Amino acid sequence: MRPNEINWSQLGFGYMKADWRFRSFWKDGKWDEGGLFDNDRITISEASTSLHYGQQCFEGLKAYTAKDGSIHLFRPDENAKRMQATCDRILMPHYETEKFIEACKQVVKANREWVPPYGYGATLYLRPFLIGIGDNIGVKPAPEFLFSIFCMPVGAYFKAGLAPVKFIVTDYDRAAPNGTGAAKVGGNYAGSLLPHEIAAKQGYADCIYLDPATHTKIEEVGAANFFGITKDGVFVTPKSPSILPSITKLSLIQIARDYLGMKVEERDVLIDNLDEFAEAGACGTAAVITPIASITHKGKEKIFFSETEVGPVTRKLYDTLTGIQFGEIEAPKGWIFEVE
Residues catalogued as catalytic:
184
H/E element, 187: helix 186-190
Task: Report which of 251, 267, 270 is spatially closest to residue 259, judged by C-alpha positions.
Answer: 251
Asked if 252 and 219 touch (Cβ cutoff 8 Å), the reply is: no
CA-CA distance, 256 to 47, in Å (whole number)?
Answer: 47
Phi, psi (rounded to 5 degrees) for 88: -60, -40
Phi, psi (rounded to 5 degrees) for 189: -80, -35
Task: Report which of 155, 156, 152 is spatially closest to residue 124, judged by C-alpha positions.
Answer: 152
| CA quadruple 336, 146, 155, 303: dihedral sign | negative
- Indicate the length of the chain as a whole number: 340
| CA quadruple 28, 29, 35, 36: dihedral sign | positive
CA-CA distance, 229 to 292, in Å (whole number)?
Answer: 11
Torsion, Cα of 223, 254, 116, 8 (10° steps)? 60
H/E element, 254: helix 247-258
The Cα-based distances of 236 to 36, 195, 224, 270, 289 in angstroms read 42, 25, 15, 12, 15
Task: Report which of 69, 77, 60 is spatially closest to residue 154, judged by C-alpha positions.
Answer: 60
Fill in the amino acid letter for 340. E
State how far Cα 244 lies from the chain centre: 9
